[in-house]
Structure 1
Amino acid sequence: MATAGSILGHSVLRREDAGLLTGGRSYVDDLDIAARSVVFVRSDVPHGRIVGISGGEGVFTAEDLQLPDMLAGPPAPAHFGRPALATGTVGYVGDPVAVVVGDTLAEARDRAEEVIVEIEELPGNADPMAASEVVFEVDPIEDPGALEGADVVVSFRYLNQKIAPAPMETNGILAVPDFDGAGRLRLWVPTQSPFSVRQTVADCLRLDPDRIHVVVPATGGGFGAKGHAYVEQVVTAALAVRLGEPLLWVESRTENMLHMGHARGQVQDVQIGARADGTVVGMTWRVTQDAGAYPDIGAWLTFYTKMMASGTYRIPRIDFRARSVITNTAPTGALRGAGRPEAAATVERAMDLLAAELGMDPVEVRRRNLIETHSEPVVTPTGAVYDAGDYLAAMERAVDLVGYDELRAAQAERRRRGDRHQLGIGVANYIEVTGNGPSSDYGSVEIHDDGTVTVLSGVSSHGQGHQTTYAQIASEQLGIPWERITVVQSDTDVVPRGNGTYGSRSLQLGGSAIDRAAAGVVDQARQIAADHLEANVEDITVYHGAGLGVAGSPDTALPWSKLAELAAEPLAAECDFDQGARTFPFGTHVAVVEVDTETGGVRQLRHLCVDDCGNVINPLLAEGQQHGGVAQGIAQALWEEMVFDAGAGPRTTNFGDYLIPSAAEFCDFETHRNTTPTPLNPLGAKGIGEAGTVGATPAVQSAVIDALAPYGVRHLDMPLTPERVWRALAGDGDGAQRGTAP
């Protein structure tokens, strides 16, 4: 992939950061454009019939706007959708009922307070197991004999709690109608998918997409939740067109907690069967997905849970069924991992419970069941096609680096002494699927007369470092210093097409498109250089920092500015790269914790991961993604949970109630990487952005439960708060399962 002196594989500092650190880049709420403010009136009950809405000037309802239902968009089924404003009934606390416009935000809020919404309250439900309306069922895997031949069968229920995306920047939009005097609508939207937002707004406003210009300003996090348009964005755009004036909507933190797509929310009833030697013969899954009040992309994510239901293991038979049901909570959406953490956490819990049942070491049970190293595709019982992997190497390196045997010895000594602070060790193997959605994306490269380069990309960065990595890729192909390369994305008028950033696809698809486009430019330039130098095109090579010339004769090199001058047409190429399949990064996490058996407090001592995402373009950025993913994964295991009362009333509506950890709450992360390149793209790269949330959560959960094993605790639901751990130790824990310690 890289040549001598290559910029690839080096920890180049992010070029994006200076503008963010100095305030040189604007978020949607910072744009210096005069606009009136939009505030939404929301339901304050979980479920009910709308009897009447009374307001005054500047108040609009669904009846006023007459917008069609907003569809969730592909790959979700076509029948998924919701009204832009509630019609007839409300489905959850936070459901938008009406919208108010004011000259200032304070005025709009005051007007919203004056709107009276009369609602006849109906029973609310936040428990998916008590729900009756099924909105989606994934195609089942029917194998009623999946457990045949098992000497031991372990049955358990796994609860993957509902959590909130909670990005640092909430949602918003600035809509400016007729910005160009030709009737076009410009939208500034903090989104991961500008072309998707453009299409959704066009569909709802019945406009040609070319009449809409979407620009993505600096975006303060998305984590998957900003991967599509929200109803408030559609309504704000519609009102801007209707009123003929710029409008700004920015979500409050409480609105964000109530409304931005919640995630996870699965209940899984699972059985795993194995022979007496620990070899797994099969698994059965019965999954209930909380879809929230309206079916959105999250209701469909059981597709990925099914795909990844065998993890990194040789599980020959799987029987799998999943249904998604309606509850009176916010619609479930995508969040970092999106269906894959739900699978990995359960598979790893199954391995731990099986080990406990057999009295075996958890690592040894895993070792006996891992898929063998492969460079050719491996097809699992769920239909997943793993591209290339060395799963044992990742696990063995992780347990070696962490000093697993020594930790077990230290744990045994603490248990022998009856220490107050018990040691827990959790090991979790994971595999996830990346390059999701359409397996293609757009990239182009153009050389200008002064020898500078413009790269266009169809993906849309919201913190990943595309400006840096894509410049590195183009620099490697062209031999042009990366400082002379400008990367442009997130603008639907400048970039002709694109699918956006989600599913850890940006490097393998967007990066490969740029790599191939740059290679196309080099091919054109080689022909130009050959003609000018009267040489064979096969003899022309790239001289880094100098241009193109005859191989072995660097003094013949023509600078890129000269090549651009000699070109009859612009020296440019574009590529819609399609790798045709998904990639499957994998790895192993090891968590070491200390549990205070008197208070239930959990203290992280170590967290080590060995991730394999194929070839790495920029190790510094990869490590940043590892750290971020691990932090979010640990946060779900120990702290985060959306809590509702018996009637579906939310109890976690701000950061005073919903626990988001800071860096001070974490131990240092020990991040390592193995390299198993994928054959599916020219970079040999797989995704890394979501891996931490897939592997860290089960490792930490396993570690805490491992510390509780001497007290007979076999399983404990997340989050593993001090109270929940203390109650489990006291023998009356909610979500605790007990058994004999191995």
Structure 2
Amino acid sequence: MTDLQRGTSILGTEVRRVEDPDLLRGRGTFVGDLDLDDPEVLHAVFVRSPVAHARLAGIDTTEAAAAPGVVGVFTAEDLGTDPVPPFAQIHDQVARTALATGRVRFVGDPVALVVASSRVAAVDAADLVDVDYEELDAVVDLEEALAEQAPRQFPELGTNLVLAVKDPDGEQDVLAGAHRVARLRMENNRMATSPIEGHGILVRPTVAEGSAGSPSPEVTGLDVALGTQHPHLARRLLVRWTGLPQDAVRVRAPHVGGAFGGKAGIIPEHAAVVRASCRLGRAVRWVETRSETMLSMTSRGQRQYVEVGLDEDGRITGMRARLVGDCGAYAGFGGSFASGSTRTMSEGSYVIPRLRYDAVSVMTNTAPTGAFRGAGRPEAAAMVERAMDHAARESGLAPEEFRRRNFVAAADFPHTTKFGARYDTGDYVTALERALEVAGVEELRREQRRRRETGSPWQLGVGIASYVEITGFGGTEYAGIRVDRDGSLTVMAGTSAHGQGHATAFSMLVADQLGLPLERVSYVQSDTARVRSGGGTGGARSLQLGGSAVLEATVELREQATRLAAELLEVAEADVELVDGSFGVRGVPGATLTWNAVAEQAHERGEGLGVDHDFSQDGATFPFGTHVCVVEVDVETGAVRLLRHVAVDDCGTVVNPLLVRGQQHGGCVQGIAQALFEEFRYDELGNPVTGTFADYTLPTAADLVQLEASLTQTPTDRNPLGAKGIGEAATVGSTPAVQNAVVDALAHLGVRHVDLPCTPERVYRAVQDAARGEHDPWREPPALFDDLPDLDAVDDVEV
């Protein structure tokens, strides 16, 4: 880290979040709260398809348009059939329009938009829109969607397959010569993103003088308040959508109530509201209901077939993976993970001498998939860690011993995987041993043996997951600092927080480098009119890129201020030191200038103090860790009780342990929920059966335990902070640890696998199947993998 002459550092200490007082006292500003007293703001409501697959034979808006308070009713015919610029595009022939054109492809597909003077009026009028649906057969299951006779999402393509990636090593048999082979078929379940706040947008158009109120107002600019993770990306996409100059479009993200990947860029509904606002020349707000969020903001899903070859000593000789990724409708971005980030991280923490990996992505009549806290990396860890636990059991080894024998050694970093991931630093054994020690695994195993010997109905399970994930992904991020006349500072960064604590962490970096109180630093983000550029937030990039940009900008500012102080003190710059917010001369105790005095002089000269800085990171970083989960399972009913969860995560250098622990706790809860509770499901007709919180199980505090989170620190060399990402790590590590614990509790009964989530029904069926000798954790993958078609590789995905 950059050297600095100062007093005691605040880095690495638990500084409380500066963001929290406003949120706790009800002073937050969310899209749904903005300008509620402005009678000129119109309200938008979408008409959505109640069926999963149908032709749109006609849409009659006559009665709705005549309803009280209605200002406009729009269909695709009104708003246009040009494609909405996507956050990511994985197939150039299946682009989405703002409203459905020709047919609907999932329950919840928006077909019309009603704009009225109040939300109540818009809701009432939406019920009057008469849509004629000619229902078509739907397909929900991934493998059924691959079948020759499956209903086609886009008949002109002749297939539901949109991506295929073939292993570059071709037909080699990576399992040849193995002493034994462990095989598993796994489901990685869909989840509902479920942020506290759904999507929201408030559009205020600027209308050219003289055209206001006309049937075709001339819009010259847009001010958009948007719940998004990527304000600058959202502006770029809206510029493409509207054709306006970049400097005519302002995007601001106020407080954002959670995102987790579900608020990346813009979505078709945003585009529809923007175009309706431009057509009307008036401000329009749309705030998503919880039902809409559940229908349209669902996330990733995969089916995984994995085989692990082993030698006589339990060392891996090879692995073969065949995956099917779920795109949902319209080739959703989440379908590309099987061919992309899951593939990149398919070796996990292990030395795998030979690896073959093939994947396909398929469209179904379900909501488009997308990113959700890890975007393909949780799927990779779930696949690898379940396979390794299964392989350990097949080898007769304890899961921790199997990992010790197969880990990439600490001395072998940096380490490059077959698919080009450049692991920076790692010490997997240390994290494993720390987790085993904290959990007291030896004592737990003694209790497990006692329960098995006594035939207790509540059997104990201990699950281990030693994960590694990819974060940051390299690239550039902006930071700017301005110093006011009174010496206070305003920091700007191109990342965009939605709950992570950027204001606290970035302000700490500035205050620490300058020796100033944290209260002297204010923070600006998520406003394209005030922050020059930015990559937003996703992939746990914020501290390693945005924080490094802030750090280097602060060092540059300190040097700028030091030069001015040296001039004012009439000494050489090298003789000036900044200690606890004052500039002094080495060896001359009485010769000092306060930070405030230097700031004042800079303003008097008309120069001011300020810096704009871009930081570039070469390559991603790779946080890692080990989670240990302890459960007990009632073998008579299938009920699972969570007893303990130990997380030892390594995200490199830690700036604020309190923020990191918050990310660990939140990530663990999401990962545990995937393993035990959450699953977004459809019936065979494509109807959501978990579309409300009454049907979809989100855990409460009563379902969880006090999480035991700790850290090891293995700094990276890819940024000056030595920091890696932490926002996804605990989600990546926790799910397979819980799943492994459930299987471990049942292993003596012959159970080898339980799919996610490990519900009482699934657990009970596994126990019963094992008792009848019918439990088989393997099934042959689709025949399609025997002769994969030539389709675009994942490298062609546009993001």
TM-score range, shorter chain: over 0.9
Deviations 1:531-586 (A, max 9, x none): 22232222222111x32222344542322222223335221112111111100000
Give secondary structure in 2 for the equivalent of 1:184: strand
The letter of the residue matching 1:38 is A
2:230 is aligned, of 193, 212, 235, to: 193
Alignment partners' CA distance in 1, 2:77 and 2:30: 32
Distance change (3 Å), C-alpha of 1:454 and 1:729: same
2:732 to 667, 675, 694: 694
Shift of 1:445: 1.3
Q: 1:499 to 1:683 in 2, by over 3 A?
A: same
Partner of 1:672: 710
* 1:326 aligns to 2:363 (yes or no): yes
The answer on 1:616 being equivalent to 2:654 is yes
Match of 1:477 among 509, 513, 517: 513
Q: 1:732: how far off?
A: 7.7
1:61 pairs, out of 58, 71, 75, with 75
Deviation at 1:683, TM superposition (A): 0.7
Task: Give the Å deviation of 1:297.
Answer: 2.3
Amino acid paired to 2:675: A
Aligned residues of 2:19 and 2:501 also touching (Cα < 8 A): yes
Match of 1:566 in 2: 601
Structure 1: distance between partners of 2:418 and 2:471: 19
Question: Which TM-score applies when normalising by structure 2?
Answer: 0.90
Q: Does residue 140 of structure 2 align to residue 134 of structure 1?
A: no
Give 2:50's aligned residue: 44
Counterpart of 1:443 in 2: which secondary structure? strand
- The residue type equivalent to 1:150 in the other structure is A
**d(CA) in 2 for partners of 1:475 and 1:77?**
47
1:605 partner letter:
L
Displacement of 1:733 in angstroms is 11
For residues 80 and 344 of structure 1, do their structure 2 counterparts lie closer, same or farther at Cα, with a shift above 3 Å needed? farther
In 1, distance between residues paired with 2:510 and 2:245? Answer: 34
The C-alpha deviation readout for 1:664-705, integer Å capped at 9, x for no partner, is: 110110001000000111111001011111000000000001
Tell me if the contact between 1:516 and 1:575 (Cα under 8 Å) persists in the aligned partners.
yes
Counterpart selection for 1:205 from 242, 257, 260: 242
Paired residue for 2:787? none
Which residue in the other structure is 1:93 paired with? 107
Choose the corresponding residue for 2:426, options 386, 389, 392: 389
Q: 2:586 corresponds to which residue? A: 551
Q: Are residue 647 (structure 1) and residue 685 (structure 2) matched?
A: yes
Where 1:637 maps in the other structure, the secondary structure is: helix
Match for 2:188: what amino acid?
A: N
What's the offset of the Cα at 1:145?
3.1
CA distance in 1, matches of 2:321, 2:86: 27
CA contact (8 A) 2:628 2:646 kept: yes
| Cα deviation, residue 180, structure 1 | 11
Kindly indicate whether the alpha-carbon contact (under 8 Å) linking 1:345 and 1:694 is maintained by their aligned counterparts in 2. yes
Q: Distance in 1 between matches of 2:207 and 2:376?
A: 40
Which of 22, 28, 31 matches 2:31?
Answer: 28
Q: How far 1:78 moved relative to its partner?
A: 5.9
Contact kept, 8 Å, 1:587 with 1:611, in 2: the verdict is yes
Deviates more, 1:98-107 or 1:500-509: 98-107
Is 2:484 aligned against 1:448? yes
CA distance in 2, matches of 1:642, 1:199: 32
Q: Deviations over 1:592-640 (max 9, x none)?
A: 0011122211111100011000011110010000000000000000010
C-alpha deviation, 1:32, in angstroms: 2.1
Structure 2 counterparts to residues 333-372 of structure 1, below 5 A: 333-372=370-409
Deviations 1:484-534 (A, max 9, x none): 001100111000110101100000000000000011011111221222223
Contact in 1 for aligned 2:769/2:775 (Cα 8 Å): no
| Cα contact 2:86–2:267 (8 A) shared by 1 | no
1:575 and 1:297 map into 2 onto residues whose CA distance is 32
One-letter identity of the residue aligned with 1:651: V
Amino acid at match of 1:403: G
Contact 2:81 2:101 (8 Å CA) reproduced: no
Query: What is the deviation of 1:196?
Result: 1.3
Q: Do the aligned residues in 2 keep the contact of 1:192 with 1:462 (CA within 8 Å)?
A: yes
Match of 2:183 in 1: 155
Note if contact 1:712-1:739 (Cα within 8 Å) is conserved in structure 2. no
The two structures, once aligned, show a CA RMSD in angstroms of 2.0
1:108 corresponds to: 122
Q: Name the residue aligned to 1:19.
A: 22
1:117-173 Cα shifts (integer Å, max 9, x gaps) = 111111111111111311123463435232233111122211101111011111111
Percent same amino acid among aligned pairs? 47
Q: Distance in 1 between matches of 2:391 and 2:11?
A: 43
Q: Secondary structure at the match of 1:621?
A: helix
User: d(CA) in 1 for partners of 2:50 and 2:91?
Assistant: 29
Question: Matched residues in 1 for 2:705 and 2:286: separation?
Answer: 38
> Which residue number in structure 1 is paired with residue 788 of structure 2?
none
Matched residue SS, 1:39: strand
8 Å Cα contact 1:142/1:320 also seen in 2: no
The answer for the alignment partner of 1:170 in structure 2 is 198
Matches within 5 A, 1:214-253: 214-253=251-290
AA paired with 2:504?
A: T
CA distance in 2, matches of 1:299, 1:390: 32
Residues 237 and 397 (structure 1), Cα distance of their counterparts in 2 relative to 1, 3 Å cut: same
One of 421, 426, 429 as aligned partner of 2:458:
421
How far, CA to CA, are the matches of 1:539 and 1:582 in structure 2? Answer: 39
Tell me the SS of whatever aligns to 1:120: strand
Query: In structure 2, how many angstroms separate the alpha carbons of the residues matched to 1:197 and 1:553?
Result: 54
- Work out whether residues 751 and 770 of structure 2, in 8 Å CA contact, stay in contact via their aligned partners in 1: no
Q: Give the residue type in structure 2 aligned to 1:130.
A: E
* Aligned counterpart for 2:449 among listed residues 412, 420, 424: 412
Q: Describe the shift of the 1:510–1:594 C-alpha distance in structure 2 as closer, same or farther (beyond 3 A).
A: same
d(CA) in 2 for partners of 1:304, 1:79: 23
The verdict on how the C-alpha distance between 1:89 and 1:608 changes in structure 2, with shifts beyond 3 A counting, is: same
CA contact (8 A) 2:329 2:364 kept: yes
Q: Deviation per CA, 1:209-255, whole angstroms, max 9, x where unpaired? A: 22111111111110111122111111111111110111111111111
1:82 is paired with a residue of what secondary structure? coil
- Residue 668 of structure 2 is matched in structure 1 by 630
2:90–2:163 Cα contact (<8 Å) kept = no
CA change 1:77–1:467 in 2 (3 A) is farther
Q: Alpha-carbon deviation of 1:76?
A: 5.5
In structure 2, the gaps of 5 or more residues are 66-71, 147-159, 210-218, 779-799
Bigger mean CA offset, 616-625 vs 523-532: 523-532
The residue aligned with 1:507 is: 543
Corresponding position: 1:9 with 2:12: yes
Residue pair 1:712, 1:738 contacting (<8 A) in 2 also: no
Q: 1:310 and 1:733 mapped to 2: Cα distance?
A: 34
Which stretch of the first structure deviates more once superposed, 282-291 or 550-559? 550-559
Task: Tell me the matched-pair count.
Answer: 737
**Code of the aligned partner of 2:223:** R
Separation in structure 2 between the aligned mates of residue 310 and residue 243 of structure 1, nearest angstrom: 53
The residue type equivalent to 2:737 in the other structure is A
Q: Tell me which of 743, 751, 754 is aligned to 1:705.
A: 743
List alignment gaps of at least 5 residues for structure 1: none
TM (normalized to structure 1)?
0.96
Alpha-carbon contact 1:525-1:548 (below 8 Å) kept = no
Rounded Cα–Cα distance in structure 2 between residues aligned with 1:179 and 1:452: 38
Aligned equivalents of 1:171, 1:490: Cα separation in 2: 16
CA contact (8 A) 2:91 2:331 kept: no
3-state SS of the aligned residue for 2:318?
strand
Q: CA deviation at 1:203?
A: 1.2
* Aligned position for 1:606: 644
The yes-or-no answer on 1:540 pairing with 2:568 is no
Distance 2:618 2:586 in 1: 35
- Corresponding residue number in structure 1 for 2:786: none
